[in-house]
Structure 1
């Protein structure tokens, strides 16, 4: 609400095109004309009723829109109009009714009081808006600094993991470091998507995030084996924690598919889809490999624990099944507000 009131400041909005006195005069004359028109319409029904009553709303509007100068101009012109055309004798400034003189003075002073109060309110709103804008600018500065530091930290962790991985002989330890590297990279990409500053604060654009994540998986994990990774994402912005959890889940499921779905094959296809229905979000990761083993992996294994933990962190339930074309994992999440 304060922002909208501040945007009503006509001199500010046309300051680059019109001098300040001109813009204020335009507001004052416009509000006076509106007051005259309203007075004329009322006189068709109730001639002479409330000669000054209709002035005050337009004085208030003029002050809020054009500052106190416009309010004073509206008050003076409207009061003169009411005095000349509404009070007896019509078409004259002569007063013949006892009490009209004091009535004119009281109404004019009341109008000036409205101008003063409206100007105080307008300035208070303006100061509040300026303070809020300064606070937002300061917060954005801190966020950019925080973003820079966190990105550096992610880069250092990634570099150390990658260096350690390269120094090790091929084997389970190297694979474990590669998986850890992929998880850190997934979180880092979600962080970058979060702090791009081009949308709702605290939310991640999932199409950009998952596109970037899948491109990294193609380059670092699938390219050497000619495994095709396809991605379909409906436009949506999710809360940061939910987005990170889904990114980690995609990273884990695609990595598992690359490791286990295509034994003895140098090619294959993995399909990732993030869609939504009226009540739910659906993340599907499906491959055209050998399918799930008849004997399911132990729930206590690290991979299974991570997959279920990521699904739970996203607020979803995970189902897995073998199809005629391979394995399919479906994570269903309840839709929240603005998703």
Structure 2
């Protein structure tokens, strides 16, 4: 019923048809539908139910096209039934005072029906306007919040980049580069939170991962001999989980770019994200030199990258399997639904 109250045909058609004309037309259409049903009933039970069908016709006409439509449907239906059906056919005369009271009662009941339907329609219309106003205010607030968060991410990234440049070469610069990449990965997920997702509060993984891989290729200077291939199904993943997945990809691709191709002129790193019942599967693979058994067990010296990967996988509610050999390394992360 709320949906009916929101549908205002006179307003919808106002650019082309006067509002009063739309209301009258809807009222006549409702009357015609009621008359058709009345005709079908009359073939089964002649002379029965002269007036009852006018009430739903008047109510529906009012909800769709305002009180004038309901008044039109009521007036035409009552006059038609009064003249042609009750009490004396082809006449407005009454044989008894009771018949006059009956018709009078029908008129009063029809007026009350139209009035109540119009009150309901107006209350729904006011509620809809208030809802739209609140939605507009919320969207404005979210835009302002989004703008401030973007500025904060940009500021943090700029500070990290400035410190990295001052650090020159060495472990400090590498650590700052990794931190910068992680911040940018989170910022990228935040940007995708407000576009392209089918469900509010989610991130479309296909566009997110493609943009992330492109940014990693630029940041790691992989244009040329070492390339990143990215493929992903479209999946709406909650924001926090998408951030964790993006950080896993960030760490795995960065590790592969730094360590998998030592002594080699080129190679390929591939990132795949796809549905894998009952959830999803992320695969990051390279065709590099592979990892030693000790590295697979304990991680690379320092161990921070591996600890971060393990933590991000847990945050994403996933389990990780690492397979490595002379033909490269494949990291598979299975994610629960």
Is the TM-score greater than 0.5? yes
Q: Which residue of 2 aligns with 1:231?
A: 230
Which of 273, 298, 309 aligns to 1:307? It is 309
Report deviation, 1:291.
1.8
Report deviation, 1:304.
1.5
> 1:53 & 1:272 partners in 2: Cα distance?
68
Corresponding residue SS for 2:222 = helix
Q: Does 1:107 align with 2:109?
A: no
Q: Give 5+ residue unaligned stretches, structure 1.
A: none
Corresponding residue SS for 2:298 = coil
Q: Give 5+ residue unaligned stretches, structure 2.
A: none
Report deviation, 1:324.
5.8
Q: Is the 8 A contact 2:210 2:231 kept in 1?
A: no
**Deviations for 1:270-303, whole angstroms, at most 9, x for unmatched residues?**
1100100342101110110122221135269211
Q: Is the 8 A contact 1:242 1:314 kept in 2?
A: yes
TM alignment of 1:1-339, pairs within 5 A: 2=2, 4-97=3-96, 99-196=98-195, 199-223=198-222, 226-295=225-294, 296-298=296-298, 301-323=303-325, 325-335=327-337
Q: Is the 8 A contact 1:5 1:125 kept in 2?
A: no
The structure-2 alpha-carbon separation of the partners of 1:320 and 1:197, relative to structure 1 and needing over 3 Å to count, comes to closer
> 1:303 & 1:198 partners in 2: Cα distance?
30
Corresponding residue SS for 2:199 = coil
Tell me the matched-pair count: 334
Q: Is the 8 A contact 2:289 2:325 kept in 1?
A: no
Q: Is the 8 A contact 2:197 2:203 kept in 1?
A: no
The structure-2 alpha-carbon separation of the partners of 1:6 and 1:229, relative to structure 1 and needing over 3 Å to count, comes to farther
> 2:292 & 2:258 partners in 1: Cα distance?
14
Report deviation, 1:203.
1.1
> 2:322 & 2:249 partners in 1: Cα distance?
14
Corresponding residue SS for 1:223 = coil
Corresponding residue SS for 2:227 = strand
**Deviations for 1:96-130, whole angstroms, at most 9, x for unmatched residues?**
25521111111111111111111111111111111
Corresponding residue SS for 1:99 = helix
Q: Is the 8 A contact 2:6 2:124 kept in 1?
A: no
> 1:332 & 1:97 partners in 2: Cα distance?
84
TM-score normalised by structure 1 residue count: 0.94
Q: Is the 8 A contact 1:204 1:238 kept in 2?
A: yes
> 1:249 & 1:5 partners in 2: Cα distance?
49
The structure-2 alpha-carbon separation of the partners of 1:225 and 1:305, relative to structure 1 and needing over 3 Å to count, comes to farther
> 2:4 & 2:88 partners in 1: Cα distance?
40
> 2:161 & 2:4 partners in 1: Cα distance?
54
Report deviation, 1:154.
0.6
Report deviation, 1:159.
0.6
Q: Is the 8 A contact 1:222 1:258 kept in 2?
A: no
Q: Is the 8 A contact 2:196 2:204 kept in 1?
A: no
CA RMSD of aligned residues (A): 1.7
Report deviation, 1:87.
1.2
